[in-house]
Amino acid sequence: MSRKTAREVAMKLAFARLFGGEDTYEAILEKSGIEEKPTEDDMNYSDEVLCGIEEHSAELDEKIAELAIGWSVERMPKVDLSILRVALYEMMYMDKIPSSVSINEAVELAKRFGGDRSSAYINGMLGTFARQIDKE
């Protein structure tokens, strides 16, 4: 399995938990039709992201609210919110992942799972954040 798939699984788990679901890594893989066995690193990555999102949800949502001009976090489509949380967690707390990778992967997830304008909106928000952290 690839990091890309592990990131998708983390996003789906974050999405499920928004609605009180307790899906497991294995259940998400089965529902997604992914037959490739996850590596230990893949599972650790997804767990780290999911736990990090839960631990830092207030900071992540605060940053999303700051970047989401004209939208409140509560009104945002839940798929987009899940994608943004994964990408922002990577950008804020996982120094080994370049921002450009997080942005690209988030845009690809938005194209697959979000609405018609989700990928452009997510790209704009994450691009703005990347420029902010580059200035710091």
SS3 labels along 13-75: HHHHHHCCCCCCHHHHHHHHCCCCCCCHHHHHHHHHHHHHHHHCHHHHHHHHHHHCCCCCCCC
CA 43 – CA 132 distance, rounded (Å): 31
What is the reported pLDDT for 81? 96
Other C-beta atoms within 10 Å of 37: how many?
8
Residue type, 5: T
Q: Which domain holds residue 53?
A: 3-135
Average pLDDT over residues 11-28: 81
CATH of residue 32: 1.10.940.10
* Candidate from 64-73, 95-104, 121-130 with smallest mean pLDDT: 64-73
CA 108 – CA 39 distance, rounded (Å): 22
What is the reported pLDDT for 20? 79
What is the reported pLDDT for 26? 75
What is the reported pLDDT for 45? 92
Say whether pLDDT at 126 is over 90: yes
Domain count, the chain: 1
Average pLDDT over residues 111-118: 95
Instruction: Find out whether 86 and 106 touch, Cβ atoms under 8 Å.
Output: yes
What is the reported pLDDT for 115? 94
- Give the tens place of pLDDT for each residue, 44-91: 998 999 999 999 999 999 999 999 988 889 999 999 999 999 999 999
**Chain Cα centroid distance, residue 128:** 16
What is the reported pLDDT for 1? 57
